Structure 1
């Protein structure tokens, strides 16, 4: 239904040819599925990584609490140079949830969401309390791009920021649980995926070891 509405709105906007296809690929990665729809080959992966610091950027959030690894607070305690990324809420629905959370009026539909001012303090993020570490907040996309290019490495859940970090060529550790990384995993020159069917089964030691392996 949403696809039909979007396609109709695009046609009303003067776009004569709207290509629609099931977003769930019958095989292979979702990106390759969409490229096949347009008869395009996968382009070479860019390498825009230009590190100039020892910072490890982490993003403990995602679009769903089910995708949030619960041990980021313990991970931060293990790493000396951590910068925590807290994105702005995007879209009307996200902004509405943000406003309700600030007023203490969160509904059942908002379960797992908390105001970014609480630093992702939610059931899905193990009540993170990270004020002792530098925070990247209220950044526009070019600023996010800048930090991801120049950090030593990035660690995050299945989220858009993780995909961006990997695609830029930044050493990326993506933590996957309920989603299938062969279909939805980040693509990049230095992307590593740790996947277990139960996200909480991924240990802090595994993540730290994977981080060290990115520099060997």
Structure 2
């Protein structure tokens, strides 16, 4: 195949021509650059699934942040993963950079590089071109301002650039047998009464402004214990220690699922009957493993950022000021949008799923 370079601007309708035997030609090394948080990685999984299925014989590497990439490493999507947060990677975003021999060898052998990164001035793209990768297909990870589209559908639109058919619109996480065994063992060792339903709750989020009031989580847990005879598992991520400790003061006993590797956490959540969480990456994780998921949204638009799944219910009561911009959200203390979702609203959905 002749050397081909593509630049795709999502805001434009330009679809550059590519070689006709793309599927046969690109069965070598494909690098997907996806430096993102957990939720952002999960919403792009349907696009990654389609790439994996189409280039079934290729070696696919995904570059990003190691803790999040564990859910794709050797779990269908990626043969290998690599770190984005290395100092030499930063030089790729510098104009007229003097690129190291390591970078030249590292990226020059790629048959295709797909950077899902913000690169408005195409600095990264030009540096990758200078290295000599056979094909570069850039796609901005965020829709153009004013375009109302679910973020997963936006990533699926990327497939048009390569003429790849989509493989579905619901993110899926594929677990290893060892992951599933870990989840089974965790539940068996922690739960005394196997007849009880399991409810997983994640009261935190990457942003405190996305968190449903802690008092309502406490009231919900106390009600479920009394009326539904369930066992509560509370998920705690790296940023959730304080909020989980405050919850423990209010409701005392629950099983804490604390800062596990994501495949292990996914396997535990998969064992649960219902998951309840805020607008967070963990909520997207629950939806992607196929659990009945109740997602509480406030300041962000669930039509764009909501988790997808066969058993997902999003609770969102739009207020005059939502959805809002991040700067507005950071300075909001009223949280009218989240306050509008009542404990009774969540109770109703729990009753329905159980």
TM-score range, shorter chain: 0.7 to 0.9
In structure 2, the partner of 1:21 is: 140
Matches of 1:128 and 1:181, distance apart in 2: 31
Q: Is the 8 A contact 2:297 2:316 kept in 1?
A: yes
Q: Is the 8 A contact 1:35 1:41 kept in 2?
A: yes
- Residue ranges of structure 2 left out of the alignment (5+ in a row): 1-92, 94-116, 175-179, 185-193, 226-230, 319-336
- Residue ranges of structure 1 left out of the alignment (5+ in a row): 90-114
Q: Is the 8 A contact 2:299 2:338 kept in 1?
A: yes
In structure 2, the partner of 1:154 is: 275
| 2:314 corresponds to 1:193 | yes
In structure 1, the partner of 2:124 is: 8
Q: Is the 8 A contact 2:118 2:140 kept in 1?
A: no
In structure 2, the partner of 1:63 is: 206
Matches of 2:276 and 2:285, distance apart in 1: 12
State the TM-score, normalizing by the size of structure 2.
0.46
| 2:331 corresponds to 1:210 | no
68, 75, 84: which one aligns with 2:220: 75
139, 156, 159: which one aligns with 1:35: 156
Alpha-carbon spacing, 1:44–1:72, altered in 2? closer, same or farther (3 Å): same
Q: Is the 8 A contact 1:7 1:18 kept in 2?
A: no
TM-aligned CA deviation for residue 178 of structure 1: 0.5
RMSD: 3.4
Matches of 1:208 and 1:13, distance apart in 2: 56
Q: Is the 8 A contact 1:21 1:37 kept in 2?
A: no
In structure 1, the partner of 2:300 is: 179
Matches of 2:308 and 2:265, distance apart in 1: 18
TM-aligned CA deviation for residue 28 of structure 1: 2.5
In structure 2, the partner of 1:87 is: 237
State the TM-score, normalizing by the size of structure 1.
0.73
Matches of 1:179 and 1:120, distance apart in 2: 26
Task: Tell me the SS of whatever aligns to 2:118.
Answer: helix
Higher relative contact order (CA 8 A, sep 6+): 1
In structure 2, the partner of 1:168 is: 289
TM-aligned CA deviation for residue 42 of structure 1: 5.0
Matches of 1:35 and 1:44, distance apart in 2: 8
Alpha-carbon spacing, 1:162–1:118, altered in 2? closer, same or farther (3 Å): closer
**Structure number with bigger Rg:** 2
Residues 44-92 of structure 1, C-alpha deviations (whole Å, 9 max, x = no match): 64598x9986110000001111110002111111112211000135xxx
Q: Which range is displaced more, 36-45 or 183-192?
A: 36-45
Q: Which range is displaced more, 52-61 or 164-173?
A: 52-61
Residues 140-181 of structure 1, C-alpha deviations (whole Å, 9 max, x = no match): 111111111110110000001101111211000000000111
Matches of 2:249 and 2:155, distance apart in 1: 36
Q: Is the 8 A contact 2:222 2:251 kept in 1?
A: no
Matches of 1:166 and 1:128, distance apart in 2: 29
Task: Tell me the SS of whatever aligns to 1:199.
Answer: helix
Aligned residues: 186
